[in-house]
Amino acid sequence: MSFLLYFFISLILIAVILFYFQIATHFDITDKPNVRSSHRNITIRGGGIIFPVAALIWFFLYGFAFKWTIAGLSLIAIISFMDDLKPLSGKVRIIVHFVAISLMFYDIGIYNLSWYWLLLVYLLTIYWINAFNFMDGINAITPFYSLSALLFFEILNIKLKFFPKELIIILILSVLIFSYFNARKRAKAFAGDVGSVSMAFLLVWMLISLILKTGNIEYILFFSIYILDTLFTLFFRILRRENIFQAHRLHLYQLLSNELKRPHIQVSLLYAISQTIVNLIVVLLIRYELMNFIVFLFILTVLSIVYLAVYRVVTIKIKNI
């Protein structure tokens, strides 16, 4: 019965994204290449609308659970879609993000934390959502990276039961469907802010739920590749005295795909596989009770050194071109 239901849901999701393509084409909801772009063709924007739609399908089919979180997701998806249509003020977006996150925090019950921990969780969550959005710049990177995270959450959820399993499966289906249109040399559609921001919201919801269930904050390393890339890119831009609010193409994945002309799929796989390896190490260390704060810092340090080394090699190659 579950297989038939998931098959039916998959058909609905396919119909939704195909219908959206018709709307996007009619109203010219497209992504036109600019200075920050890693593509040269006009492409449909907002195909990632399938992610919040998938969550809404779960919400209506499985008993209207987590209504405040779904309300927050809907709110953040709507404002992100509006931003896809016409760029909005950063202040407006950050206020909506704060409200949406607050609704999710209320639903999962973290307001009993000390104020400083709560502040830290707010800052990290807002940072993560924006970092995930920044990283959505080449074909396949968002679905591949999301799929890596979702699969690990699903595996852990089998035993720990920290999250609705049906929602994870439906989201995996939505990512696989979106991948068909995005993970190709010339993408049919991009996720858009509505897709990347919504997926970031959903993933951080899972991560926080996992940490609350287990008490292992080290699971934050599940997001480490994206976090380090955005942090170091920001650091490099500050060193160069650049306007950090202007569009750029200085992320490592952008240098690899734009300057060194590596195929998008290849670069996206590199990021997804790297994060998968990190996730596997984290899971094994926690399972065998070998994870502690020193090990956590050691992993971060090693990842940082590897990232900086790769970044250095790439920049040298670019200069020699």
Q: Please report which confidence band the pLDDT of residue 32 belongs to, taking 50, 70 and 90 as the band edges.
A: confident
φ, ψ (nearest 5 deg) of residue 31 = -105, 110
Of 24-38, 135-149, 251-265, give the lowest mean pLDDT range. 24-38
Calpha distance 321→319 (Å, rounded): 6
If you average pLDDT over residues 195-211, what whole number do you get? 98
Say what the pLDDT of residue 268 is. 98
Say what the pLDDT of residue 39 is. 53
Q: What is the mean pLDDT of the chain?
A: 94
**Residue 64 φ/ψ region, left for φ over 0, alpha for ψ in the -120 to 50 degree band, beta for the rest:** left
229-267 burial, b for 16+ CB within 10 Å, e for fewer? bbebbbeeeeeeeeeeeeebebbbbbbbbbbeebebbeb
- pLDDT surpasses 90 at 245: no
Segments in the chain forming alpha helices (H):
2-26, 50-61, 67-85, 90-108, 115-134, 141-160, 165-182, 192-214, 224-239, 252-254, 264-287, 293-320
- pLDDT surpasses 60 at 36: no
Say what the pLDDT of residue 43 is. 92
Displacement of CA 277 from its chain's centroid (Å): 17
* CB of 54 closer than 8 Å to CB of 173: yes
- pLDDT surpasses 60 at 223: yes
Say what the pLDDT of residue 229 is. 97
- How big is the chain, counted in residues? 321
Q: Kindly write down the DSSP assignment for every residue of 83-117, as one continuous string.
A: HHHSPPPHHHHHHHHHHHHHHHHHHHT-TTS-HHH
| Residue type (1 letter), 267 | V
Say what the pLDDT of residue 93 is. 94
For 134, residues 6+ apart whose C-beta sits below 8 A from its C-beta are: 230, 251
Q: What is the CA radius of gyration of the chain?
A: 19
- pLDDT surpasses 60 at 38: no
Say what the pLDDT of residue 305 is. 98
Say what the pLDDT of residue 248 is. 80
Calpha distance 220→152 (Å, rounded): 13
If you average pLDDT over residues 239-247, what whole number do you get? 79
φ, ψ (nearest 5 deg) of residue 37 = -70, 150
Taking each helix axis from N to C terminus, what angle separates 192-214 and 67-85, rounded to the nearest 10 degrees?
Answer: 150
Say what the pLDDT of residue 199 is. 98
Calpha distance 152→82 (Å, rounded): 32
Q: Kindly write down the DSSP assignment for every residue of 116-138, as one continuous string.
A: HHHHHHHHHHHHHHHHHHHT--S
- Angle CA 264–266–267, to nearest 5: 65
